[in-house]
Structure 1
Amino acid sequence: MVRRFFVVVAAVVAAAALLTAPAQATGRGGYLALGDSVAFGYRPNAGADYLNAANFRGYAENYAALRGLRLANASCPGETTGSMLTPGAPSNGCENGYRLAFPLHASYPGTQVAYAVDYLRAHPDTRLVTLTIGANDMFLCQRTTPDQCTGASFDAALAQVSRNLEATLAAVRGHYRGDLVLVSYYSLDYRDQAQVKQVKALDAALAKVTRRYHGRIADGFTAFRLASLRAGGDPCAAGLLIKLPAGGCDVHPSAAGHLALTAALALAAH
Protein backbone atom coordinates (compact mmCIF):
# COMPACT_ATOMS: atom_id res chain seq x y z
CA MET A 1 0.00 0.00 0.00
CA VAL A 2 2.86 2.41 0.82
CA ARG A 3 4.48 1.71 -2.54
CA ARG A 4 1.19 2.30 -4.33
CA PHE A 5 0.80 5.56 -2.45
CA PHE A 6 4.12 6.86 -3.78
CA VAL A 7 3.23 5.71 -7.31
CA VAL A 8 0.01 7.70 -7.12
CA VAL A 9 1.83 10.74 -5.72
CA ALA A 10 4.38 10.59 -8.52
CA ALA A 11 1.61 10.42 -11.11
CA VAL A 12 -0.18 13.37 -9.51
CA VAL A 13 2.98 15.46 -9.57
CA ALA A 14 3.55 14.59 -13.22
CA ALA A 15 -0.05 15.44 -14.07
CA ALA A 16 0.18 18.77 -12.22
CA ALA A 17 2.76 20.01 -14.70
CA LEU A 18 0.25 19.88 -17.54
CA LEU A 19 -1.92 22.56 -15.94
CA THR A 20 0.69 25.23 -16.71
CA ALA A 21 2.13 23.63 -19.84
CA PRO A 22 0.97 24.43 -23.37
CA ALA A 23 -1.44 21.95 -24.93
CA GLN A 24 0.34 19.09 -26.64
CA ALA A 25 -0.22 18.01 -30.23
CA THR A 26 -3.47 16.14 -30.79
CA GLY A 27 -2.37 13.69 -33.45
CA ARG A 28 -2.29 10.64 -31.19
CA GLY A 29 -5.92 9.63 -31.55
CA GLY A 30 -9.26 10.37 -29.96
CA TYR A 31 -10.49 10.16 -26.39
CA LEU A 32 -14.20 9.99 -25.59
CA ALA A 33 -15.20 10.90 -22.02
CA LEU A 34 -18.68 9.94 -20.81
CA GLY A 35 -20.47 10.50 -17.54
CA ASP A 36 -21.78 12.99 -15.04
CA SER A 37 -20.62 16.19 -13.34
CA VAL A 38 -17.39 14.60 -12.11
CA ALA A 39 -16.36 13.78 -15.69
CA PHE A 40 -17.58 17.24 -16.75
CA GLY A 41 -15.33 19.06 -14.26
CA TYR A 42 -18.34 20.82 -12.72
CA ARG A 43 -17.89 23.55 -10.10
CA PRO A 44 -20.83 24.97 -8.09
CA ASN A 45 -21.52 28.69 -7.92
CA ALA A 46 -19.44 29.31 -11.06
CA GLY A 47 -21.44 32.36 -12.17
CA ALA A 48 -20.74 33.48 -15.73
CA ASP A 49 -18.43 30.49 -16.23
CA TYR A 50 -21.49 28.34 -16.90
CA LEU A 51 -21.94 30.10 -20.24
CA ASN A 52 -18.71 28.58 -21.61
CA ALA A 53 -18.08 24.89 -21.04
CA ALA A 54 -14.36 25.42 -21.67
CA ASN A 55 -14.21 27.06 -18.22
CA PHE A 56 -14.71 23.63 -16.67
CA ARG A 57 -11.72 21.33 -16.59
CA GLY A 58 -11.48 17.94 -14.92
CA TYR A 59 -9.63 14.66 -15.13
CA ALA A 60 -10.63 14.12 -18.78
CA GLU A 61 -9.10 17.41 -19.91
CA ASN A 62 -6.03 16.76 -17.76
CA TYR A 63 -5.46 13.32 -19.18
CA ALA A 64 -6.08 14.35 -22.79
CA ALA A 65 -3.46 17.09 -22.46
CA LEU A 66 -1.04 14.73 -20.71
CA ARG A 67 -1.25 12.15 -23.51
CA GLY A 68 -1.84 14.47 -26.45
CA LEU A 69 -5.25 13.01 -27.23
CA ARG A 70 -8.11 14.75 -29.04
CA LEU A 71 -10.87 14.94 -26.44
CA ALA A 72 -14.61 14.73 -26.95
CA ASN A 73 -16.21 15.14 -23.52
CA ALA A 74 -19.91 14.24 -23.72
CA SER A 75 -20.56 14.27 -19.96
CA CYS A 76 -23.49 16.14 -18.43
CA PRO A 77 -23.92 17.36 -14.82
CA GLY A 78 -26.77 15.42 -13.23
CA GLU A 79 -26.70 12.52 -15.67
CA THR A 80 -27.86 9.11 -14.43
CA THR A 81 -27.24 5.68 -15.91
CA GLY A 82 -30.84 5.78 -17.07
CA SER A 83 -30.90 9.23 -18.66
CA MET A 84 -27.65 8.70 -20.55
CA LEU A 85 -29.21 5.63 -22.13
CA THR A 86 -32.93 6.35 -22.59
CA PRO A 87 -34.65 9.61 -23.62
CA GLY A 88 -36.94 10.88 -20.88
CA ALA A 89 -35.49 8.71 -18.10
CA PRO A 90 -35.10 10.52 -14.76
CA SER A 91 -31.90 12.48 -14.30
CA ASN A 92 -30.59 14.51 -11.40
CA GLY A 93 -30.62 17.78 -13.32
CA CYS A 94 -29.04 17.02 -16.70
CA GLU A 95 -31.73 16.87 -19.41
CA ASN A 96 -34.29 18.78 -17.36
CA GLY A 97 -31.84 21.34 -16.03
CA TYR A 98 -28.24 21.91 -17.02
CA ARG A 99 -28.61 21.11 -20.72
CA LEU A 100 -31.55 23.50 -21.04
CA ALA A 101 -29.64 26.42 -19.57
CA PHE A 102 -25.95 25.93 -20.32
CA PRO A 103 -23.69 24.41 -22.99
CA LEU A 104 -21.95 21.07 -22.58
CA HIS A 105 -18.41 20.37 -23.74
CA ALA A 106 -19.91 18.50 -26.70
CA SER A 107 -23.17 19.54 -28.35
CA TYR A 108 -25.64 16.79 -29.27
CA PRO A 109 -29.44 16.50 -29.43
CA GLY A 110 -30.08 13.03 -27.96
CA THR A 111 -28.64 10.83 -25.26
CA GLN A 112 -24.99 10.42 -24.34
CA VAL A 113 -25.03 6.83 -25.52
CA ALA A 114 -26.43 7.82 -28.92
CA TYR A 115 -23.71 10.47 -29.20
CA ALA A 116 -21.07 7.94 -28.15
CA VAL A 117 -22.13 5.48 -30.84
CA ASP A 118 -22.11 8.20 -33.50
CA TYR A 119 -18.72 9.46 -32.33
CA LEU A 120 -17.13 6.02 -32.33
CA ARG A 121 -18.47 5.29 -35.81
CA ALA A 122 -17.04 8.56 -37.11
CA HIS A 123 -13.70 8.33 -35.27
CA PRO A 124 -12.11 4.89 -35.74
CA ASP A 125 -8.84 6.29 -34.36
CA THR A 126 -10.36 6.57 -30.86
CA ARG A 127 -7.87 5.20 -28.35
CA LEU A 128 -9.67 5.65 -25.06
CA VAL A 129 -13.20 5.77 -23.64
CA THR A 130 -13.69 6.68 -19.98
CA LEU A 131 -16.83 6.70 -17.88
CA THR A 132 -17.92 8.03 -14.49
CA ILE A 133 -21.61 7.44 -13.85
CA GLY A 134 -23.98 6.10 -11.20
CA ALA A 135 -23.78 8.50 -8.25
CA ASN A 136 -26.77 10.53 -9.40
CA ASP A 137 -28.89 7.36 -9.49
CA MET A 138 -28.15 6.93 -5.80
CA PHE A 139 -28.85 10.61 -5.02
CA LEU A 140 -32.26 10.21 -6.67
CA CYS A 141 -32.81 7.04 -4.67
CA GLN A 142 -32.02 8.93 -1.45
CA ARG A 143 -34.60 11.60 -2.25
CA THR A 144 -37.41 9.39 -3.50
CA THR A 145 -37.48 6.26 -1.33
CA PRO A 146 -38.98 5.82 2.17
CA ASP A 147 -35.74 4.40 3.60
CA GLN A 148 -33.65 7.10 1.86
CA CYS A 149 -31.75 4.43 -0.05
CA THR A 150 -30.35 2.69 3.00
CA GLY A 151 -32.03 -0.73 2.76
CA ALA A 152 -33.82 -2.69 0.07
CA SER A 153 -34.14 0.40 -2.11
CA PHE A 154 -30.35 0.73 -2.20
CA ASP A 155 -30.01 -2.84 -3.46
CA ALA A 156 -32.73 -2.25 -6.06
CA ALA A 157 -31.08 0.97 -7.26
CA LEU A 158 -27.71 -0.77 -7.47
CA ALA A 159 -29.21 -3.56 -9.56
CA GLN A 160 -30.79 -1.02 -11.93
CA VAL A 161 -27.50 0.86 -12.24
CA SER A 162 -25.79 -2.40 -13.20
CA ARG A 163 -28.41 -3.18 -15.85
CA ASN A 164 -28.20 0.31 -17.33
CA LEU A 165 -24.41 0.27 -17.38
CA GLU A 166 -24.43 -3.12 -19.09
CA ALA A 167 -26.65 -1.72 -21.86
CA THR A 168 -24.38 1.33 -22.20
CA LEU A 169 -21.19 -0.68 -22.45
CA ALA A 170 -22.78 -3.14 -24.87
CA ALA A 171 -23.57 -0.18 -27.14
CA VAL A 172 -20.03 1.17 -26.82
CA ARG A 173 -18.40 -2.20 -27.44
CA GLY A 174 -20.59 -2.70 -30.47
CA HIS A 175 -18.48 -0.05 -32.21
CA TYR A 176 -15.22 0.08 -30.25
CA ARG A 177 -12.56 -2.43 -29.16
CA GLY A 178 -9.99 -0.10 -27.64
CA ASP A 179 -9.18 0.91 -24.08
CA LEU A 180 -12.23 1.32 -21.84
CA VAL A 181 -11.73 2.68 -18.32
CA LEU A 182 -14.21 3.28 -15.51
CA VAL A 183 -13.09 6.10 -13.19
CA SER A 184 -14.54 5.01 -9.85
CA TYR A 185 -16.06 7.24 -7.20
CA TYR A 186 -14.38 8.54 -4.06
CA SER A 187 -15.71 8.84 -0.54
CA LEU A 188 -16.67 12.25 0.77
CA ASP A 189 -15.35 11.24 4.19
CA TYR A 190 -13.28 8.13 4.77
CA ARG A 191 -14.00 8.36 8.49
CA ASP A 192 -17.72 7.74 7.88
CA GLN A 193 -17.94 3.97 7.62
CA ALA A 194 -21.60 3.88 6.56
CA GLN A 195 -20.93 6.26 3.68
CA VAL A 196 -17.73 4.44 2.72
CA LYS A 197 -19.62 1.15 2.62
CA GLN A 198 -22.18 2.54 0.17
CA VAL A 199 -19.54 4.08 -2.11
CA LYS A 200 -17.59 0.84 -2.15
CA ALA A 201 -20.75 -1.11 -3.02
CA LEU A 202 -21.51 1.26 -5.91
CA ASP A 203 -17.93 1.12 -7.18
CA ALA A 204 -17.90 -2.68 -6.94
CA ALA A 205 -21.12 -3.00 -8.93
CA LEU A 206 -19.82 -0.62 -11.62
CA ALA A 207 -16.46 -2.40 -11.76
CA LYS A 208 -18.06 -5.82 -12.13
CA VAL A 209 -19.99 -4.75 -15.22
CA THR A 210 -17.02 -2.85 -16.66
CA ARG A 211 -14.72 -5.86 -16.39
CA ARG A 212 -17.35 -7.99 -18.11
CA TYR A 213 -16.87 -5.71 -21.10
CA HIS A 214 -13.06 -5.94 -20.92
CA GLY A 215 -12.64 -2.57 -19.27
CA ARG A 216 -10.23 -1.53 -16.54
CA ILE A 217 -10.77 0.45 -13.35
CA ALA A 218 -9.13 3.76 -12.50
CA ASP A 219 -9.32 3.55 -8.72
CA GLY A 220 -10.55 7.00 -7.75
CA PHE A 221 -11.63 5.66 -4.36
CA THR A 222 -8.11 4.68 -3.37
CA ALA A 223 -6.50 7.74 -4.96
CA PHE A 224 -8.67 10.04 -2.82
CA ARG A 225 -8.15 7.91 0.28
CA LEU A 226 -4.38 8.02 -0.03
CA ALA A 227 -4.35 11.73 -0.86
CA SER A 228 -6.52 12.46 2.20
CA LEU A 229 -4.37 10.52 4.67
CA ARG A 230 -2.56 13.72 5.64
CA ALA A 231 -5.93 15.08 6.80
CA GLY A 232 -6.95 11.98 8.72
CA GLY A 233 -9.14 10.65 5.91
CA ASP A 234 -11.06 13.89 5.31
CA PRO A 235 -10.97 14.81 1.57
CA CYS A 236 -12.48 18.22 2.35
CA ALA A 237 -9.70 19.16 4.78
CA ALA A 238 -7.15 17.70 2.35
CA GLY A 239 -8.30 20.11 -0.37
CA LEU A 240 -9.64 17.41 -2.70
CA LEU A 241 -13.20 18.77 -2.72
CA ILE A 242 -14.45 22.24 -3.65
CA LYS A 243 -14.66 24.53 -0.64
CA LEU A 244 -17.99 26.26 0.00
CA PRO A 245 -18.14 29.95 1.04
CA ALA A 246 -20.16 29.12 4.15
CA GLY A 247 -17.76 26.37 5.21
CA GLY A 248 -17.39 22.70 4.44
CA CYS A 249 -17.13 21.26 0.95
CA ASP A 250 -19.24 20.44 -2.07
CA VAL A 251 -19.34 16.86 -3.36
CA HIS A 252 -17.33 17.72 -6.50
CA PRO A 253 -13.55 17.45 -6.85
CA SER A 254 -11.36 20.51 -6.66
CA ALA A 255 -8.45 20.95 -9.08
CA ALA A 256 -6.35 18.87 -6.65
CA GLY A 257 -9.08 16.23 -6.53
CA HIS A 258 -9.12 16.03 -10.32
CA LEU A 259 -5.35 15.60 -10.30
CA ALA A 260 -5.81 12.60 -8.01
CA LEU A 261 -8.35 11.15 -10.45
CA THR A 262 -6.01 11.93 -13.36
CA ALA A 263 -3.28 9.98 -11.58
CA ALA A 264 -5.64 7.04 -11.08
CA LEU A 265 -6.54 7.15 -14.77
CA ALA A 266 -2.87 7.32 -15.76
CA LEU A 267 -2.21 4.17 -13.73
CA ALA A 268 -5.12 2.30 -15.33
CA ALA A 269 -4.90 3.36 -18.98
CA HIS A 270 -2.31 2.08 -21.44
Structure 2
Amino acid sequence: MAAVVIAASALLTAPAQATARHGGYLALGDSVAFGYRPNAGAAYLNAANFSGYAEKYAALRGLRVANASCPGETTGSLLVVTAPSNGCENGYRLAYPLHVSYAGAQIDYAVQYLRTHRDTRLVTLTIGANDMFLCQNTTPDHCTGPDFQVALNQVSRNLAAILSAVRAVYRGDLALVSYYSLDYRDPTQVAQVKALDSALIQVTRRFHGKVADGFTAFLLASLRTGGDPCAAGLLVKLPTGGCDVHPSAAGHRALAAALAFAH
Protein backbone atom coordinates (compact mmCIF):
# COMPACT_ATOMS: atom_id res chain seq x y z
CA MET A 1 0.00 0.00 0.00
CA ALA A 2 2.84 2.41 0.84
CA ALA A 3 4.37 1.83 -2.60
CA VAL A 4 1.07 2.74 -4.25
CA VAL A 5 0.92 5.97 -2.26
CA ILE A 6 4.50 6.88 -3.24
CA ALA A 7 3.90 6.10 -6.93
CA ALA A 8 0.65 8.05 -7.00
CA SER A 9 2.21 11.02 -5.23
CA ALA A 10 5.17 11.12 -7.61
CA LEU A 11 3.08 11.05 -10.77
CA LEU A 12 0.50 13.49 -9.43
CA THR A 13 3.09 16.12 -8.62
CA ALA A 14 5.97 15.64 -11.06
CA PRO A 15 6.21 15.79 -14.86
CA ALA A 16 6.80 12.48 -16.61
CA GLN A 17 10.36 11.82 -17.76
CA ALA A 18 10.81 9.08 -20.32
CA THR A 19 13.12 6.20 -19.55
CA ALA A 20 15.05 4.30 -22.22
CA ARG A 21 12.54 1.53 -22.76
CA HIS A 22 11.55 1.70 -26.39
CA GLY A 23 8.86 -0.48 -27.90
CA GLY A 24 5.18 -0.57 -28.70
CA TYR A 25 2.26 -0.04 -26.34
CA LEU A 26 -1.31 -0.82 -27.39
CA ALA A 27 -4.10 0.84 -25.40
CA LEU A 28 -7.63 -0.50 -25.78
CA GLY A 29 -10.96 0.48 -24.29
CA ASP A 30 -13.47 3.25 -23.84
CA SER A 31 -13.55 7.00 -23.14
CA VAL A 32 -11.38 6.67 -20.03
CA ALA A 33 -8.59 5.11 -22.07
CA PHE A 34 -9.22 7.66 -24.84
CA GLY A 35 -8.74 10.65 -22.55
CA TYR A 36 -12.18 12.02 -23.44
CA ARG A 37 -13.38 15.34 -22.06
CA PRO A 38 -16.98 16.60 -22.32
CA ASN A 39 -17.94 19.91 -23.93
CA ALA A 40 -14.66 20.10 -25.87
CA GLY A 41 -16.19 21.68 -29.00
CA ALA A 42 -13.82 21.93 -31.96
CA ALA A 43 -11.19 19.95 -30.03
CA TYR A 44 -13.02 16.77 -31.04
CA LEU A 45 -11.87 17.31 -34.64
CA ASN A 46 -8.30 16.40 -33.67
CA ALA A 47 -7.78 13.35 -31.45
CA ALA A 48 -4.34 14.68 -30.47
CA ASN A 49 -6.17 17.19 -28.26
CA PHE A 50 -7.03 14.31 -25.92
CA SER A 51 -4.42 12.73 -23.70
CA GLY A 52 -5.05 10.20 -20.96
CA TYR A 53 -3.26 7.71 -18.78
CA ALA A 54 -1.98 5.78 -21.81
CA GLU A 55 -0.14 8.77 -23.24
CA LYS A 56 1.20 9.74 -19.82
CA TYR A 57 2.47 6.24 -19.15
CA ALA A 58 3.99 5.95 -22.63
CA ALA A 59 5.91 9.20 -22.07
CA LEU A 60 7.09 7.96 -18.68
CA ARG A 61 8.43 4.67 -20.09
CA GLY A 62 9.57 5.84 -23.51
CA LEU A 63 7.03 3.68 -25.35
CA ARG A 64 5.30 4.32 -28.69
CA VAL A 65 1.60 4.25 -27.93
CA ALA A 66 -1.14 3.20 -30.33
CA ASN A 67 -4.37 4.15 -28.59
CA ALA A 68 -7.27 2.34 -30.28
CA SER A 69 -9.89 3.22 -27.66
CA CYS A 70 -13.25 4.75 -28.52
CA PRO A 71 -15.58 6.85 -26.33
CA GLY A 72 -18.72 4.85 -25.61
CA GLU A 73 -17.23 1.45 -26.44
CA THR A 74 -18.77 -1.57 -24.71
CA THR A 75 -17.27 -5.02 -24.33
CA GLY A 76 -19.71 -6.16 -27.01
CA SER A 77 -19.00 -3.42 -29.55
CA LEU A 78 -15.26 -3.83 -29.03
CA LEU A 79 -15.72 -7.36 -30.37
CA VAL A 80 -18.44 -6.80 -32.99
CA VAL A 81 -18.89 -3.40 -34.56
CA THR A 82 -22.67 -3.85 -34.87
CA ALA A 83 -23.18 -4.71 -31.19
CA PRO A 84 -24.81 -2.06 -28.96
CA SER A 85 -22.44 0.64 -27.78
CA ASN A 86 -22.95 3.69 -25.62
CA GLY A 87 -22.05 6.16 -28.35
CA CYS A 88 -18.93 4.79 -30.04
CA GLU A 89 -19.89 3.13 -33.33
CA ASN A 90 -23.27 4.84 -33.42
CA GLY A 91 -21.94 8.26 -32.46
CA TYR A 92 -18.35 9.34 -31.87
CA ARG A 93 -16.74 7.36 -34.70
CA LEU A 94 -19.25 8.75 -37.19
CA ALA A 95 -18.37 12.35 -36.38
CA TYR A 96 -14.83 12.50 -35.02
CA PRO A 97 -11.45 10.81 -35.49
CA LEU A 98 -9.96 8.33 -33.04
CA HIS A 99 -6.30 8.34 -32.01
CA VAL A 100 -5.66 5.68 -34.65
CA SER A 101 -7.73 5.06 -37.76
CA TYR A 102 -9.33 1.70 -38.46
CA ALA A 103 -12.43 0.16 -39.95
CA GLY A 104 -14.39 -2.54 -38.19
CA ALA A 105 -14.17 -3.58 -34.57
CA GLN A 106 -11.51 -2.45 -32.14
CA ILE A 107 -10.44 -6.06 -31.50
CA ASP A 108 -9.70 -6.54 -35.20
CA TYR A 109 -7.35 -3.57 -35.13
CA ALA A 110 -5.75 -4.90 -31.95
CA VAL A 111 -5.05 -8.33 -33.41
CA GLN A 112 -3.61 -6.86 -36.61
CA TYR A 113 -1.46 -4.41 -34.64
CA LEU A 114 -0.05 -7.16 -32.45
CA ARG A 115 0.69 -9.37 -35.44
CA THR A 116 2.65 -6.61 -37.16
CA HIS A 117 4.31 -4.99 -34.12
CA ARG A 118 6.36 -7.74 -32.54
CA ASP A 119 8.17 -5.24 -30.31
CA THR A 120 4.96 -4.54 -28.35
CA ARG A 121 5.78 -4.47 -24.63
CA LEU A 122 2.38 -3.75 -23.14
CA VAL A 123 -1.34 -3.98 -23.84
CA THR A 124 -3.75 -2.17 -21.51
CA LEU A 125 -7.52 -2.23 -21.38
CA THR A 126 -10.27 -0.23 -19.68
CA ILE A 127 -13.70 -1.49 -20.68
CA GLY A 128 -17.05 -2.47 -19.17
CA ALA A 129 -18.52 0.69 -17.65
CA ASN A 130 -20.54 1.48 -20.78
CA ASP A 131 -22.13 -1.96 -20.60
CA MET A 132 -23.44 -1.02 -17.18
CA PHE A 133 -24.61 2.40 -18.37
CA LEU A 134 -26.56 0.68 -21.14
CA CYS A 135 -28.03 -1.67 -18.57
CA GLN A 136 -29.15 1.31 -16.48
CA ASN A 137 -30.76 2.94 -19.50
CA THR A 138 -32.51 -0.10 -20.96
CA THR A 139 -33.75 -2.29 -18.08
CA PRO A 140 -36.93 -1.77 -16.04
CA ASP A 141 -35.06 -1.74 -12.72
CA HIS A 142 -32.28 0.49 -14.13
CA CYS A 143 -29.75 -2.26 -13.44
CA THR A 144 -30.33 -2.27 -9.67
CA GLY A 145 -31.74 -5.79 -9.37
CA PRO A 146 -31.14 -9.11 -11.15
CA ASP A 147 -30.28 -7.33 -14.40
CA PHE A 148 -27.10 -6.02 -12.77
CA GLN A 149 -25.72 -9.54 -12.40
CA VAL A 150 -26.89 -10.45 -15.90
CA ALA A 151 -24.92 -7.50 -17.26
CA LEU A 152 -21.86 -8.43 -15.21
CA ASN A 153 -21.98 -11.97 -16.54
CA GLN A 154 -22.12 -10.68 -20.11
CA VAL A 155 -19.19 -8.35 -19.46
CA SER A 156 -17.18 -11.31 -18.15
CA ARG A 157 -17.97 -13.43 -21.21
CA ASN A 158 -17.12 -10.63 -23.61
CA LEU A 159 -13.89 -9.76 -21.81
CA ALA A 160 -12.85 -13.41 -21.96
CA ALA A 161 -13.41 -13.34 -25.74
CA ILE A 162 -11.42 -10.09 -26.03
CA LEU A 163 -8.46 -11.38 -24.05
CA SER A 164 -8.55 -14.74 -25.79
CA ALA A 165 -8.14 -12.95 -29.13
CA VAL A 166 -5.30 -10.86 -27.73
CA ARG A 167 -3.50 -13.85 -26.21
CA ALA A 168 -3.78 -15.78 -29.47
CA VAL A 169 -1.22 -13.39 -31.00
CA TYR A 170 0.53 -11.80 -28.00
CA ARG A 171 2.22 -13.30 -24.95
CA GLY A 172 3.66 -10.14 -23.38
CA ASP A 173 2.54 -7.90 -20.54
CA LEU A 174 -1.18 -7.26 -20.31
CA ALA A 175 -2.86 -4.97 -17.78
CA LEU A 176 -6.41 -4.06 -16.87
CA VAL A 177 -6.76 -0.47 -15.66
CA SER A 178 -9.70 -0.80 -13.29
CA TYR A 179 -12.45 1.73 -12.68
CA TYR A 180 -12.69 4.31 -9.90
CA SER A 181 -15.65 5.47 -7.85
CA LEU A 182 -17.14 8.89 -8.51
CA ASP A 183 -17.81 9.26 -4.78
CA TYR A 184 -16.21 7.03 -2.15
CA ARG A 185 -18.72 8.35 0.40
CA ASP A 186 -21.58 6.62 -1.42
CA PRO A 187 -21.66 2.94 -0.35
CA THR A 188 -24.09 1.92 -3.09
CA GLN A 189 -21.96 3.33 -5.88
CA VAL A 190 -18.78 1.98 -4.32
CA ALA A 191 -20.32 -1.50 -4.15
CA GLN A 192 -21.34 -1.36 -7.82
CA VAL A 193 -17.91 -0.23 -8.99
CA LYS A 194 -16.21 -2.87 -6.87
CA ALA A 195 -18.51 -5.55 -8.32
CA LEU A 196 -17.66 -4.49 -11.88
CA ASP A 197 -13.94 -4.30 -11.12
CA SER A 198 -14.04 -7.70 -9.44
CA ALA A 199 -15.63 -9.31 -12.51
CA LEU A 200 -13.07 -7.67 -14.80
CA ILE A 201 -10.15 -8.63 -12.57
CA GLN A 202 -11.17 -12.28 -12.34
CA VAL A 203 -11.19 -12.63 -16.12
CA THR A 204 -7.97 -10.66 -16.57
CA ARG A 205 -6.08 -12.90 -14.17
CA ARG A 206 -7.31 -15.99 -16.01
CA PHE A 207 -5.39 -14.65 -19.01
CA HIS A 208 -2.28 -13.90 -16.94
CA GLY A 209 -2.89 -10.17 -16.92
CA LYS A 210 -1.93 -7.65 -14.26
CA VAL A 211 -4.24 -5.16 -12.58
CA ALA A 212 -3.56 -1.43 -12.41
CA ASP A 213 -5.75 -0.53 -9.44
CA GLY A 214 -7.54 2.63 -10.54
CA PHE A 215 -10.06 2.21 -7.73
CA THR A 216 -7.42 2.48 -5.02
CA ALA A 217 -5.46 5.17 -6.87
CA PHE A 218 -8.49 7.50 -6.87
CA LEU A 219 -9.34 6.58 -3.28
CA LEU A 220 -5.86 7.50 -2.05
CA ALA A 221 -5.77 10.69 -4.08
CA SER A 222 -9.15 11.81 -2.67
CA LEU A 223 -8.48 11.06 1.01
CA ARG A 224 -7.72 14.72 1.68
CA THR A 225 -11.24 15.61 0.52
CA GLY A 226 -12.95 12.89 2.51
CA GLY A 227 -13.32 10.53 -0.43
CA ASP A 228 -14.67 13.04 -2.95
CA PRO A 229 -12.75 12.70 -6.27
CA CYS A 230 -14.55 15.74 -7.69
CA ALA A 231 -13.36 18.02 -4.89
CA ALA A 232 -9.89 16.46 -5.17
CA GLY A 233 -9.66 17.55 -8.82
CA LEU A 234 -9.56 14.02 -10.22
CA LEU A 235 -12.65 14.46 -12.42
CA VAL A 236 -13.40 16.98 -15.16
CA LYS A 237 -15.11 20.03 -13.69
CA LEU A 238 -18.39 21.11 -15.29
CA PRO A 239 -19.09 24.80 -15.95
CA THR A 240 -22.47 24.37 -14.26
CA GLY A 241 -20.85 22.98 -11.11
CA GLY A 242 -19.90 19.51 -9.99
CA CYS A 243 -17.97 17.07 -12.12
CA ASP A 244 -18.30 14.81 -15.13
CA VAL A 245 -17.59 11.08 -14.86
CA HIS A 246 -14.33 11.33 -16.83
CA PRO A 247 -10.88 11.82 -15.29
CA SER A 248 -9.18 15.19 -15.36
CA ALA A 249 -5.46 15.48 -16.12
CA ALA A 250 -4.81 14.82 -12.43
CA GLY A 251 -7.10 11.80 -12.56
CA HIS A 252 -5.21 10.38 -15.51
CA ARG A 253 -1.93 10.88 -13.66
CA ALA A 254 -3.37 8.84 -10.80
CA LEU A 255 -4.33 6.06 -13.23
CA ALA A 256 -0.88 6.23 -14.85
CA ALA A 257 0.64 5.89 -11.38
CA ALA A 258 -1.44 2.78 -10.78
CA LEU A 259 -0.23 1.39 -14.09
CA ALA A 260 3.38 2.18 -13.22
CA PHE A 261 3.00 0.33 -9.92
CA ALA A 262 1.45 -2.71 -11.65
CA HIS A 263 3.88 -2.83 -14.57
TM-score, normalised relative to structure 1: 0.95
Q: Distance in 1 between matches of 2:20 and 2:82?
A: 35
Code of the residue aligned with 1:215 in structure 2: it is G
Deviation per residue, 1:20-73 (Å, 9 max, x gap)? x6xx58871100000000000000000111000000000000000110101100
Inter-partner Cα distance in structure 2 for 1:121 and 1:175 = 6
Aligned partner of 2:91: which letter? G
* Contact persistence 2:114–2:120 (CA under 8 A): yes
| Cα offset, 1:175, TM superposition | 0.3
Q: Which one of the candidate residues 204, 210, 217 is aligned to 1:216?
A: 210
- Are the aligned partners of 1:137 and 1:161 in contact in 2 as well (CA < 8 Å)? yes
Q: Given the alignment of the two structures, is residue 102 of structure 1 paired with residue 96 of structure 2, yes or no? A: yes
* 1:84 match: secondary structure: helix
Q: Deviations over 1:101-160 (max 9, x none)?
A: 000001000101000000000001100000000000000000000110011000000000
**Fraction of identical pairs, as percent:** 75
Aligned to 2:51: 57
Contact 1:187–1:221 at 8 Å: present in 2 too? Answer: yes
Could you tell me how far 1:4 is from its partner in structure 2?
4.1
SS in 1 for 2:208: coil
2:121 is the alignment partner of 1:127? yes
Matched residue SS, 1:66: helix
Q: How far 1:8 sits from its partner (Å)?
A: 3.2
**Structure 2 Cα separation of the partners of residues 183 and 11 of structure 1:** 18
1:171 aligns with 2:165: yes
Per-residue deviation, 1:12? 1.8
1:34 and 2:33 correspond: no
Find the counterpart in structure 1 of residue 232 from structure 2.
238
Aligned CA RMSD, in angstroms, stands at 1.4
Give structure 2 stretches of 5+ with no counterpart. Answer: none
TM-score, scaled relative to structure 2: 0.97
The aligned length equals: 263
- Alpha-carbon shift at residue 9 of structure 1 (Å): 3.2
Supply the distance in 1 between the matched residues of 2:229 and 2:7 (Cα, whole angstroms): 16
5+ residue gaps, structure 1, are none
Q: Report the 3-state secondary structure (helix = DSSP H, G, I; strand = E; otherwise coil) of the residue aligned with 1:17.
A: coil
Q: Among 239, 249, 252, which residue is 1:258 paired with?
A: 252
SS at match of 2:39: coil
The 8 Å contact of residues 32 and 74 in structure 1, kept in 2 or not, is answered as: yes
Letter in 1 for 2:22: R
Counterpart CA distance in 1 for 2:166 and 2:10 is 28
- Equivalent position of 1:17 in the other structure: 15
Provide closer, same or farther for how the CA distance between residues 228 and 13 of structure 1 changes in structure 2, counting only shifts above 3 A. Answer: closer
Q: What CA distance in whole angstroms lies between the structure 2 residues aligned with 1:180 and 1:236?
A: 29
CA shift for structure 1 position 86: 1.1
Distance 1:107 1:139, change over 3 A: same
Shift of 1:7: 2.1
Letter in 2 for 1:163: R
Residue 181 and residue 5 in structure 1: after superposition, are their counterparts in 2 closer, same or farther (change >3 A)?
Answer: closer
Alpha-carbon offset, residue 6 of structure 1: 3.1
CA contact (8 A) 1:12 1:260 kept: yes
- Please report how far the alpha carbon of residue 178 of structure 1 lies from its aligned counterpart in structure 2 after TM superposition: 0.3
For the 8 Å contact 2:178–2:215, the answer to whether it is kept is yes
Contact 2:180 2:215 in 1 (8 A): yes
Map of 1:84 onto structure 2: 78
Superimposed CA distance per residue, residues 208-241 of structure 1 (whole angstroms, 9 cap, x where no aligned partner): 0000000000000000000000000000000000
1:144 aligned partner: 138
Structure 2 partner of 1:66: 60
Check the 8 A contact 1:33/1:39 in 2, yes or no. yes
